[in-house]
Every structure is written in C-alpha cells, then in structure tokens.
Structure 1
Amino acid sequence: MENKVTKLFNIKYPIIQAGMVWNSGWRLASAASNSGILGVLGAGSMYPEVLREHIIKCKKATNKPFAVNVPMLYPDIDKLMDIIVEEGVKIIFTSAGNPKTWTKWLQDQGIVVVHVVSSVKFALKAQDAGVDAIVVEGFEAGGHNGRDETTTLALIPMVKEKINIPLIAAGGIATGKAMLATMVLGADGVQIGSRFVASQESSAHQKFKQLVVDAKEGDTQLTLKELAPVRLMKNKFYDEVQELYKTSPSVDDLRTLLGRGRAKKGMFEGDLDEGELEIGQIAGLIHEIKPVSEIVKEIISDFEETKRLAMSL
C-alpha cells in the first residue's frame, strides 16, 4: 500500500496512531509502529524528562519509525524539542500553534515535520511554513478541535484543492471503510485516535476505556469554545459546564470551573464524574478493547475488502 505517506514515514500502511494526551505512551506507540503504522507519543501530557523516558522505552520496544506529537502551547516546549533532537526522533507532529515557530529549526535537525490543522486557512499557513505534510482534522474528532465545526468529509476535499503536500485525514475514522472514503476524497493517509484509546496498550485508565466501548451516538459534545474547543464525553463535569453557560459566564468563570488536571483525572486516573473525558464521535462505533495489532489488521482487512467491492460495482 505504498504512497506519499508510507514513503514519507517509511511505514507499511498509511495510518497514523494519533498522539493523544494521557492515552499515547510508549506501549501504544511502539505497538502501533510494530503493526506497520506510525506510532506517536503524546507529549502534551508529559514533563520533559517523562517524555525522554517514553522515547527511550519506545526505542527499545520497536525498531520501526515512531513520532512525537507536541502541542505548541506547551509551556516548556523548548525543552521538549531539545529532548526530541537529543534522542534522535525523526518525525514530529506539531499542533495548537504557529507552525512557522519550529518547522525550519526541526527540519534543519533532519526531522520530518507534520502540522495538525482544522481549516483551509490554517492548512495554507502550514504549507507556507514549509511543513512536510499536514493532518486535516474534522469536527468529529475527540480532544481539542477547530471552532468552525467543519466535518471531515467536507474539509478534506476543500483542503485538497488548495495544497500540494501530503494530506492526512483525521476525525471520525475508525474503520477501513472510513479510511477508504477519506482517501477517495483526496487524503493520502489517515490519523486514528479514538479507536486506539480503546486498545490494550493505551495508557488510558481501564474505566475510561470501558466508557468509550459503552458509548452511543450523541454521548459527546464540542464545548468550551471560549477557551479551546474540546469534544467531551457527557458526564457530571460536562453537565456543570452546561449549567454555567446558562449564567452567561466570562472566560475567567469557565477557566475557574475547568481548573487544572481534569484531563489527567478523567482519562488517566479514571474519575468518570469530575474528569475531562476527551473522545471522538466515532466512539459509538467502538465496541471492544483489543490489542493494537488486531485493530490494525481489522482496519486494513476492511479497507481492502471495501475497495474490492467498490471496484466490482
């Protein structure tokens, strides 16, 4: 299945396991890479030395390429970047910030740079900044998201007609059928997050994984746009946010309610009432916690079978 994405990352299949905070530790990333896709460490939930530890363990667990995702709002981002270079990581996904800030510096160190965007406007900015590829993430995605609420199937072709660098689709993708659909629309590969949350190797708490498996359509909602739009599972904390909105709260009111560490509390520690539970709409289609290797095999098998049937029509 060789194409622009597999060549860029030196992987077997054009699939990226998303770098998700509190979910994407070295066990998940190495298992993903060993399955023929690109594993990604989620540095957004790691102190600098914790990231170094995960990189070292990931290098021991796989001899395949893997990447690190770095949200550019991270307070010690310069320390993270230095560690990534020192430890010899060759691929980095940046997000939530201006790609011009780090792209050239990283590329000068021999690192492939991919930037995550949620609109045509930011896709063009990322291309102008010189990134090697972009992840285009639709409104369906879990975690922090774009404000415009453009869906993946609408966004991919709109971005495709404006750029000439590899395009990786994200948001609402958990099956081979969805992978094929986005590639028909112009994507060169896909980034999958929520499906890998419900994997045995994910660092998420077992309670959160089970909640994802039990989720149904309509159990998530994009909220907190005044701070940073985020798709959350509906729970006690989500209900408190909605009650606060009835009072026309200020940004400071919302920030006070959010506090610190809610994502860790929910996804990593398993507090399903007070935690911030970030997951995509596609959770309603995830019904079982499985090893990463099985998930990848199922996606590729589904992709190939759907492609075969489509060509026979």
Structure 2
Amino acid sequence: MTASLPTRFTQLLGIEHPVMQDGMGSGSFTTGDIAAAVSAAGGLGSVSTADLWAEPAKAERVFRGQMELVASRTDKPFAANIPIGVDHSGDVIGASTNHLNYVIQARREDPALERQLRVVTTSGGPPDQFRAVIRDAGLLHFHKVGSTRQALRAERAGVDLIIASGFEMGGHTHSKPVHTFVLGPNVTEAVEVPVLISGGVRDARGLAAALCFGADGVAMGTRFIATEESNWHPAIVARVLEAKEGDDTLFPGIYGPIRGLRNEAVRLLQKLIDEGATPEEITEWKAAAFRRVQDEGDVHLGLFPTGQVASGITEVVRIPDLVSGMVSGAAAILARLAGPRPVS
C-alpha cells in the first residue's frame, strides 16, 4: 500500500499524491499520454501547448485533442500549461491568449473536461493579465516563478498556488539564476499560498527535501521523459539516459533563456544570432529546430530542452511506479529523520 503525504496541494484538488507533471511542451510535442498516466497514478498531469507557431485552427485541434485524451483515460483532475509569451514589443503574443481561450471553450462544451480540467498553469510573464479570466472560468490558477519577487507579485495577483522553479530546470528558465536550494525556502517563507518546488527533482529524496523546505509538493518535467508512457522519440530518451553533468547549456528561447543539452543546433543558433539575423528569422529557425528534434529524433540538429537533472536519470520507469515510489520513499525518509537519533 502506497504511503500518504497529504499537503495543501493534494487537498486543494482532492488528489492522492503531492507530485505534479510540469509543463513539457515545445515544438510539436504533446503531453497527453504522460498527463493521463500521472493523474491516474494520483498526481496531477498537465497538458502542454503543443506548437505555439502552428496555425490557430490546427493548434486548437491538437490542444483540444490532448485534453480529451486525458479525460478519456482517467476520471482524475488534470491541468493545462500555458506559457505567457511576449513579442518584441512587450505585448502578450496571440498564441498565449488563444490557448487559454481553447481551454475555456473546451470546458464549456464538454462536461467531462469541465469536471476534470481544474487548473491552468501560467509561466514566462506576469500572471496579472490572465488572472481574472482564469478565475471567472472557475479554474484554479497556478503560476511558475523564478524569484521571490515574482512569487510575491503572483500572490498579490491572487493565484492559488506558486511553482518555485530553480535555475537548473529544463526548458524556459530564468534570466537571473537562483537555484532550487535557495529559491525553495525563500519562496515558502515569503508567501502564504501553497508552493510546489520544480528544478532538479527526480526521486523520493527530492520530494522529501521539498517538504522540508516548507513546500506542498514537487513538479517535474525531465524525469517524465524517460518513462514507459512517454511518447518522446526514442532517440531523445536515449540521449537523456546518456546525459552527464555539464552536458547542459543555455540558449535563447522564445520567452527567455532555455536550458537544454549542448549540441550542434545550439552552436548554429548562436552563429545565426552573431551574423545579425532578424528576430523573425531567429524565431522561425528555432521553431523548425524544436520540431526537428521531436518529430525526427534529431538530437544533433534539433533544439532539445532538458534539465540538469538528466545527469541523474539512468533508467526508463513506469509512471505509476515512479509516483508511488517517490511518495513511499519520501515518507520513509521523513519518518527516519523524525525518529530517535542514534547515539555515537
């Protein structure tokens, strides 16, 4: 029997385990299979935006299809992850607004989605612009931050939960580096709303540490790549399993810097920037590179977002085993630490 670690996060959603699948979308990748498995295992799965550069009708069709896939496989709650992108003028890009509208419309039209799709997670920019829309739609609003200042702003805006993501996280990370061991305790001390820790977590020890920081659970992305339920290209899974410390790097993303594995595509992107390509040309090149790695498994000429935690991932596991093992292991660690200390 799996141990229980109830927190404010699990109580907020009525779920079993304080483990969330973080946003993992970029290029043409979809996360419905992973999200369904995580939610069915008692955590909180997340459907991520698949392709922010896609034609709107296609983007809505794919995003809606992923929501429906999750609802068809489990009756448990799940989330939708929507990055808040801004254009070169500082305005929120239309794709971010569109994807929020896709979520709201889908819930209006489908009773199962209205019942199960309970959360929208935002990231990238301030949550203020979307806060009222998310609240009025009857959704919980989680927001990802990379600093205590951002956490306080999110709390003032009225979000229901904060994801404190350390600089070692994969995908879009933060322009000012604050790592998980510093950011987590700082944020939990500063805010009253529930907090999840993201960045560098892969097992029971990470969950136990997050709870010791005062957090209410963890959110993970990279760890879920190397699972049986993942539909990431096999070449990507193999590269994650091969990753060593120091194989990761930062490169310019869509909303800010992205952490991924160093390869030829990163070098070519920097060369394009150094040669004076326009922002539009660079964005188009990056979009194609994201699709290349996920559609074709080209881990050399495709941009490949991955967290530093990849260096500690050595095997493909089943998501139910991963989630339950994390909770049981964390409970055992905390019980051991709370027990009598041996006398030397």
> For structure 1, which runs of at least 5 residues remain unmatched after alignment?
none
Q: Tell me, in whole angstroms, the C-alpha distance in 2 between the residues paired with 1:105 and 1:137.
A: 24
Match of 1:10 in 2: 14
Report the residue type matching 1:34 in the other structure.
A
Aligned-pair identity (%): 29
Q: 1:24/1:38 Cα in 2 relative to 1: closer, same or farther (>3 Å)?
A: farther
- Where 2:287 maps in the other structure, the secondary structure is coil
Asked if the contact 1:241/1:257 (under 8 Å) is kept, the reply is no
The residue correspondences of 1:52-63 to structure 2 (distance < 5 A) are 52-63=64-75
SS at match of 1:80: helix
Q: Corresponding residue for 1:75?
A: 94
For residue 272 of structure 1, what is the amino acid of its counterpart? V
RMSD: 2.3
- Give SS of 1:114's match: strand
After TM superposition, the structure 1 stretch with the greater mean CA deviation from structure 2, 271-280 or 249-258, is 249-258
Partner of 2:327: 300
1:306/1:180 CA distance change after superposition, 3 Å = same
Per-residue deviation at 1:144? 0.4
What SS does structure 2 have at the residue aligned with 1:33? helix
Residue 152 of structure 2 corresponds to which residue in structure 1?
A: 124
Written as runs of structure 1 = structure 2, the 5 A alignment for 1:1-313 is 1-22=5-26, 24-45=30-51, 47-73=59-85, 75-85=94-104, 86-87=106-107, 88=114, 89-224=117-252, 228-241=256-269, 252=279, 255=282, 258-312=285-339, 313=341
SS at match of 1:279: coil
Bigger Cα displacement from structure 2, 195-204 vs 221-230:
221-230
- The alpha-carbon deviation at position 280 of structure 1 amounts to 0.5
Shift of 1:240: 3.0
**Matched-pair contact (CA < 8 Å) for 2:142–2:163:** yes
Separation in structure 2 between the aligned mates of residue 220 and residue 173 of structure 1, nearest angstrom? 16
Q: Which has the higher contact order (CA 8 A, sep 6+)?
A: 2
TM-score (norm 1): 0.92
Between the aligned partners of 2:36 and 2:97, the Cα distance in structure 1 is: 24
**Matched AA of 1:11:** I
1:227/1:72 CA distance change after superposition, 3 Å: closer
Change (3 A) 1:7 1:155: same
**TM-fit CA distance, 1:9:** 1.9
Change (3 A) 1:251 1:310: farther
- Superposed CA deviations along residues 210-248 of structure 1, whole A, max 9, x for unmatched, are 110111111111232796211010111123345668x59
Q: TM-score, normalised by structure 2?
A: 0.84
Unaligned runs of 5+ in 2: 53-58, 86-92, 108-113
1:271 offset after TM fit, Å? 1.0
Give 1:14 deviation, angstroms. 0.8
How far apart, in 2, do the equivalents of 1:249 and 1:231 lie? 23
